Structure 1
Amino acid sequence: MTSPAVMTVHGPVVGTLDEGINCFLGIPYADAARFAVARSPKPWDQPLQATRFGPGPAQFPMPWLPKNLDLSEDCLTLNVWTPRDAPEATLPVLVWIFGGGFEGGLSGTDMFAGHALARAGEVVVVTINYRVGALGFASLKSLGGPYGEASNLGLTDVVLALKWVRANIGSFGGDPGLVTVAGGSAGGFLAGALPATPSADGLYQRLALFSGGASRLIPADRADEIGASIAGHVAGGNLIDAPLSELFEAQRRVIATDIGARNGVRPQAFGVVLDDGDANGVLKMHPLDAYRTPAAQEIDVWAAANADEISLFRTFDPNFDPVTEDELIGHRNEWGVDHETATAIVSPYTQESASMGEVRERLLTDWIYRLPAARLVEAHTAGGGRGYLSLIGRADGKPAAHGCETSGIFGRQPENETGPERHRAAEITRAVIDFVRTGNPGWHSGVDEARTFGDSGINAGETYRSILSRWAGVARP
């Protein structure tokens, strides 16, 4: 059987036919020098064998990564799954941005394989790599010299990938005017920043943010502090020539591991740098403000969060649980509030929970994920846009932890999932397909109309309204 072949603007690519779907893996969409904005790759004349994933982004070794994984600074590739014999430039397109705390992750994994979704929804699926950790998100412009472009590099990688989609996806059967950008966790925060990113204007029509939002924003001065501190842990401050091991060790020394410290008003972590005060910044305004503008009204937005997001992080952090309520209130600087306000915030969580660990888990689930989702949809609909909100609840009694929705997003049915979990996943898959194809995931716009997946005992609209009320007046970056 003849292998599928497509001509891109950079050269011809040859893929494989797998499970009845045309697969093109590891296509270069950009080249990048260290700490520089990526550029279009050099064109090629001979057919590129796009038959295996490209290397994942260079990153600090993580215990959950497969062993012997191919990682590289030369990682800016993407993958395309498209139905066989797809008519040219007619199918809706889903572009997926992986998560990993801005420090890790990759697109080249079976978890994000697009076969099932492409088959079930007649959708073209694209997954992209972007630079992570210090290589993608260290803010170094204030150091000058060779670091003059080093701000939000991972976000500019995403934009360049979207430009590749605009220029090439028609040849794969996709409609370049019908693009949904979706992301999970860090990928959701990156997707959430796109309306505030002028270079991304016109490259997408819909956004689906899973456990992400117009948040995880690093104030510019904090980002500069983090970048300078990382440089201070590298011999001679020379980040350009430093071995990756030394760069990652410097990063490890500076970036917080506690999930609360990583997501405060001044995070000790990587994220989207709020560089709108720089004339050459990547952002033009705070992303949440962008959703209120007339320019964003035609963008369909779906924001989703899970009922038990932080249960995943609590499991892996032996120091997560505070001993007393006063100890938890002592985290108030992360929320940017005084002692009295912090006490008022913590009190209802204490009344609803059986332990202080559970109090902190529920509080951070709201602070980091559910509050930003609700505020984003509230802002977008107030500005005249269509904003859909959902809450992913438990299934079969299991916590709806961070990332539990991934199998549903990609239409997968893992063998280790129970019947109720599979049913929840199937409902999510249907909503994803509907949103990608029509701009409506299957329910009405607005916070009050929020949809629950899984546990039907949760009224999502009431839950989100309660969270908005509980945190009213508290700024969430």
Structure 2
Amino acid sequence: MSGADTIGRRAVLAGGIALAASAAARPAIAAQEEYVATRRLKAPDGEYRSRSWHNAPPEVYCYAGIRYARAERFCAPVAVRRAEQMTGGGFGPACPQRGDRYRPQSEDCLFLNVWTPGIEKAAKRPVMVYFHGGAYSAGSVTDPVNDGAKLAARGDVVVVTVNHRLNAFGYLYLARLDPRFPDSGNAGQLDLIAALQWIERNIAAFGGDPGNVTVFGQSGGGAKIATLMAMPQAKSLFHKAITMSGQQVTASGPLNATKRAQAFLAKLGQGVDPATAPVEQLVAALSATDPILGGSVYMGPVLDMKHLTRHPFWPDAAPQSLGIPMMLGNTVMETRAFYAPDGKQLAGLDFDNLAARIAPEMRIDIHPEWVVGEFRARYPKTEPLELFHRIVTAARSWRGQVEEAEARARAGAPAFVYQLDFEDAKHTDDIGLSFGTMPDPTPAQQAMSDRVMDAFVRFAHTGDPGWPAYDLAKRQTMIFDTASRVENDPRQWERELFARVPYIQPGT
């Protein structure tokens, strides 16, 4: 589709959506006062303009809606080396996806945003690049929780957030079915590489240091980072990594990825060319049943032996990443974000049906009645709901982080582990804490946010967040809580229980 025309027609709408989406993080302001203090700068790719939010820290400037690449459907991106930016101060659109949480949406979604405390080239501030979550299928950095102003101001860092292609647009593996699209299974990853290449070329003009780039991401964003750590084309483009509740131990195998592509194409319709089908038809086909897992079809990075030639953390940590300091974190009750109280998993939950309820959710083949018995003996006063979340979190959501931390430790590579216990943290709770964007925080929440931001920023500056690296002798872990502390091997009993069963990442 015609990207320039689409963006031109939607620029005003994008600006309005960005402002409306940011209302949760910023007080309402009159339309004529929405931006102040425009600054222009010249970078190698050309001139960019800033729009500083009226009530943002006054020293921080936001350069929103910067195009970093273009791409034809299912093809590798092509870098844009001539400055191009959304008009009206708006963010770029989100990739097309199911649901309408993020608007506007467009295939032409390869845009990034920069927040900087100053544009002096000599400053050479650390650069923190955020990749959003959404399990490779959904999400957008236009979410107000990803506003980089407070993090940039507090840490004296340059913050970059990136949108890229998702779901079928970024990860539909057609290479074994259609020779036109050899890059399709990892197109979304190639977008991220193109964004990092834009940063390498231009970020010095924004006051950032292209030799000190930290990538960080939550959930799917963390998984994207773990995958980049094994992609040769990403080598040397970033220098530190933080993954937040997001791991990628193994990628999709090409045969399973092909089966998923076939299921998607069958849902799309016989004789329909996915290269020319309307966007809406491709999005609708995402409801195809996954032939491996059941549920909606899964898409993610593929071991295509072209762009990804080995699994990120199996059988070991990718050698190209061992010189990159890495921080890995999870929340103590991840799955509290996954299940509705009145959903089939939790409605009427009791000790009689607990084993049956956890069986499909653990995503591993282990005796569920035995697991429940062991957990009830270990936590005799714990109610079924808490046991459900404790069991499924440890079995499904935490295992990948353990695998990656252990692989790094075996390789003798820097790895720092944290666990967010604060307020029985669930999946996504560390995003607002790390950006300083929690709406109406309590004093305790603000203090926790400051603590997390300071650790992330210190890591970006130095490669050391302020606690010992994880090793196999002690398994040192920072527990972020009202009283933060380092513990050796927290949840050791849960880790050892599930270590009886080999870890196979869901979807791969």
Code of the residue aligned with 1:149 in structure 2: it is: D
Q: Which of 206, 210, 218 is 1:176 aligned to?
A: 210
Distance in 2 between residues matched to 1:112 and 1:243, nearest whole Å: 30
Distance 2:451 2:162 in 1: 25
| Residue number in structure 1 paired with 2:375 | 349
Q: 1:446 maps to what in 2?
A: 470
For residues 374 and 313 of structure 1, what CA distance do their matches in structure 2 show? 20
Question: Which of the numbers 28, 40, 57 marks the counterpart of 2:79?
Answer: 40
Give how far 1:192 is off: 1.3
Q: 1:228 to 1:9 in 2, by over 3 A?
A: farther
Tell me by how many angstroms 1:182 deviates: 0.2
Who is 1:251 aligned against?
286
How many angstroms does 1:164 deviate by? 1.0
Could you say which residue in structure 1 is the equivalent of 2:397? 369
Are residues 1:80 and 2:102 paired? Answer: no
Q: Cα distance 1:373–1:37, how it changes in 2: closer, same or farther (>3 A)?
A: same
Identity across matched positions, percent: 25
Q: Rate the CA distance shift 1:7–1:87 in 2: closer, same or farther, 3 A.
A: closer
Which residue matches 1:95?
A: 129
Cα deviation, residue 312, structure 1: 1.0
Which residue of 201, 207, 224 maps to 1:167? 201
Q: 1:60 to 1:317 in 2, by over 3 A?
A: farther
Distance in structure 2 (CA, Å) of the matches to 1:316 and 1:328: 13
Partner of 2:252, secondary structure, is: strand
8 A contact 1:28–1:76 mirrored in 2? yes
Corresponding position of 1:385: 413
1:207·1:302 contact (CA, 8 Å) conserved in 2?
yes
The number of residues matched between the two structures is: 455
In the aligned structure 1, how far is the partner of 2:125 from the partner of 2:485?
A: 35
Partner of 2:21: none
For 1:286, give the aligned amino acid. H
Matches within 5 A, 1:66-465: 69-88=103-122, 90-215=124-249, 217-235=251-269, 236-254=271-289, 269-273=298-302, 275=303, 278-280=304-306, 282-289=307-314, 292=317, 294-315=319-340, 318-321=343-346, 324-328=353-357, 330-331=359-360, 334-335=363-364, 337=365, 340=367, 344-351=370-377, 352=379, 354=382, 357-395=385-423, 399-415=424-440, 417-446=441-470, 448-454=475-481, 456=483, 460-465=487-492
Deviations 1:79-104 (A, max 9, x none): 00111244436110000001112211
1:33-64 Cα distance to aligned partner (Å, 9 max, x none): 111111112635x88758221111111114xx
- Residue 59 (1) aligns with residue 97 (2): yes
Task: Provide the alpha-carbon RMSD of the alignment.
Answer: 2.8
Residue 26 of structure 1 pairs with residue 61 of structure 2? no
Contact 2:130–2:217 under 8 Å retained in 1: yes
Q: Residue 430 of structure 1: CA displacement?
A: 0.9
Q: Deviations over 1:304-335 (max 9, x none)?
A: 10011111111277122376255247539931
> 8 Å contact 1:291–1:297 — kept in the other structure?
no
- Matching residue of 1:475: 503
- What is the SS of the residue equivalent to 2:479? strand
Instruction: Show CA shifts across 1:94-123 (max 9, x none).
Output: 000011122111112321111111111110
2:13 paired residue number? none
Change (3 A) 1:86 1:223: same
Q: Shift in Å at residue 422 of structure 1?
A: 2.0
Bigger Cα displacement from structure 2, 103-112 vs 82-91: 82-91
Q: Is the 8 A contact 1:131 1:157 kept in 2?
A: yes
Q: 1:218 to 1:292 in 2, by over 3 A?
A: closer
Q: Which consecutive residues of structure 1, in runs of 5 or more, have no partner in the other structure? A: none
Q: CA offsets per residue over residues 187-217 of structure 1, 9 Å max, x none?
A: 0110111221111000111100001123373
SS of equivalent residue, structure 2 residue 241: strand
SS, match of residue 79 in structure 2: coil
Contact kept? 1:196, 1:290, Cα under 8 Å = no
Query: Residue 272 and residue 366 in structure 1: after superposition, are their counterparts in 2 closer, same or farther (change >3 A)?
Result: farther
1:15 to 41, 50, 71: 50
- Listed as ranges, the gaps of 5+ residues in structure 2 are 1-35
Distance 1:244 1:380 in 2: 41
The verdict on how the C-alpha distance between 1:176 and 1:85 changes in structure 2, with shifts beyond 3 A counting, is: closer
Q: Could you tell me how far apart the structure 2 residues matched to 1:23 and 1:43 are?
A: 19
Q: 1:363 to 1:261 in 2, by over 3 A?
A: farther
Distance 1:38 1:47, change over 3 A: closer
Check conservation: 2:250, 2:314, Cα contact below 8 A: no
SS at match of 2:418: strand
- Distance, in Å, in 1 between the alignment partners of 2:226 and 2:294 is 21
Check the 8 A contact 2:362/2:392 in 1, yes or no: no
Does structure 2 conserve the Cα–Cα contact (< 8 Å) formed by 1:261 and 1:334? no
TM-score (norm 1): 0.87
1-side partners of 2:194 and 2:281: how far apart? 28
| Structure 1 residues 212 and 437, CA gap change in structure 2 (3 angstroms) | same
Per-residue deviation, residues 260-316 of structure 1 (Å, max 9, x unmatched): 967xxxx9522332x1xx432x22211114864554332111001001111111127
| Gap change, CA 1:122 and 1:424, over 3 Å in 2 | same
**Structure 2 letter corresponding to 1:175:** D
Mapped contact 1:374–1:389 kept (Cα < 8 A): no
1:385 deviates by: 0.9
> Which one-letter code corresponds to 1:412 in the other structure?
T
